[in-house]
């Protein structure tokens, strides 16, 4: 696990996830403008009761808000799958 993934996990802990996966896909984007600037490409799959009753846009906004300044430099692209426990 790299430093950015560790930071992401710490920030996503606020959702008290029952399941959390972070996959670094940066190697698939070598040479891409964001990769050259140091930003990684990540896939996040998170399951949390806090997403219950919220639509996809609201869930993604919650995740982006939690990521904060990481989205400015450390994360160039973020693919999100955010689910409530009853959606598994």
Q: Given a cut of 90, is residue 84 above it in pLDDT?
A: yes
pLDDT (0 to 100) of residue 85: 98
pLDDT (0 to 100) of residue 1: 84
Residue 57 belongs to domain spanning: 3-87
Residue 24 to residue 10: CA distance in whole angstroms: 16
Orientation angle between helical segments 3-12 and 56-67, nearest 10 degrees: 120
- The three-point CA angle 25-55-29 to 5° equals 15
Q: Residue 26 is part of a domain; what is its CATH number?
A: 3.30.300.90
- Strands, E assignment, 6-74: 19-24, 40-47
Give the helix/strand (H/E) hosting 82.
strand 75-83
Tell me the pTM: 0.88
pLDDT tens per residue across span 20-75: 999 999 877 666 554 556 678 999 999 999 999 999 999 999 999 999 999 988 99
* Counted domains in the chain: 1
């Amino acid at each position: 696990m790299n430093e950015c993934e560790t930071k992401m996990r710490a920030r996503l802990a606020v959702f008290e996830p029952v399941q959390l996966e972070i996959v670094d896909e940066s190697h698939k984007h070598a040479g891409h403008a964001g990769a050259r600037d140091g930003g990684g490409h990540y896939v996040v799959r998170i399951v949390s009761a806090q997403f219950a009753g919220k639509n996809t846009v609201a869930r993604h906004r919650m995740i982006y808000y939690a990521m904060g300044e990481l989205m400015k430099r450390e994360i160039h692209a973020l693919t999100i799958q955010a689910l409530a426990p009853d959606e598994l």
